[in-house]
């Protein structure tokens, strides 16, 4: 196991309000309350485990996180339960956002993330409009959905250089 000090510093810098006395003491309250951990316990070799992620992140064991199954990073649905129950006020989801961003930078994110980003780039929506949905809304007397300004979305995403990261592995 190699400790990556640069990665460790990135984690500490990313975690707003972090200081030494807030270190995780591995009580596992986050994992015990995580709904994803609950439902994946028997599906994957190790299940999804936020406590383990935090341990590896705070110790700089980058390889343990990035060489594991993608669920180690992408299993988190950002429900924020762990943030609320952590007795040390560690904002776990902040750290998990860093991990997800680094996963994308490495071109290793799951396909559905790239597909959804591509859909937003092309249509301004994560789930593009469908004629059947529009008809159903109309039949229920709901107002028509105003089409988003796709040019604006594309300009924003281009400015953030997200367009360069839309394809996995690019």
Binding-site ranges for ligand SF4 (CB under 6 A) = 24-30, 34, 36, 50-51, 54, 76-82, 86-88, 90, 92-93
Q: How far is the CB of 53 from ligand SF4 (least distance, A)?
A: 8
Q: Burial of 4 by CB count in 10 Å (0-12 exposed, 13-18 middle, 19+ buried)? A: middle
Our CB check for ligand SF4 shows the closer of 18 and 93 to be 93
Q: How far is the CB of 40 from ligand SF4 (least distance, A)?
A: 10
Residue 115: CB partners within 8 Å, gap ≥ 6?
none
Our CB check for ligand SF4 shows the closer of 26 and 115 to be 26
On whether the CB atoms of residues 168 and 114 are closer than 8 A, the answer is yes
Q: How far is the CB of 97 from ligand SF4 (least distance, A)?
A: 10
Name the token pair of 119: 């859909």
Distance CA 112, CA 97 (A): 17
Q: How far is the CB of 75 from ligand SF4 (least distance, A)?
A: 7
Residue 38: CB partners within 8 Å, gap ≥ 6?
none
Our CB check for ligand SF4 shows the closer of 29 and 125 to be 29
């Amino acid at each position: 196991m190699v400790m990556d000090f640069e990665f460790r510093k990135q984690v500490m810098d990313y975690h707003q309000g972090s200081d030494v006395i807030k270190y995780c003491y591995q009580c596992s309250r986050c994992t015990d309350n995580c709904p994803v951990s609950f439902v994946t316990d028997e599906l994957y070799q190790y299940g999804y485990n936020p406590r383990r992620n935090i341990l590896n992140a705070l110790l700089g064991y980058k390889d343990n996180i990035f060489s594991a199954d993608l669920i180690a990073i992408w299993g988190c649905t950002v429900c924020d339960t762990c943030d609320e129950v952590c007795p040390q006020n560690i904002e776990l989801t902040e750290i998990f956002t860093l991990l997800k961003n680094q996963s994308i930078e490495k071109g290793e994110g799951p396909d559905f993330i790239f597909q959804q980003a591509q859909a937003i780039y092309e249509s301004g929506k994560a789930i593009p409009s469908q004629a059947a949905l529009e008809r159903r809304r109309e039949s229920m007397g709901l107002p028509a959905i105003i089409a988003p300004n796709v040019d604006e979305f594309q300009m924003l995403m281009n400015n953030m250089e997200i367009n360069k990261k839309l394809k996995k592995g690019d």
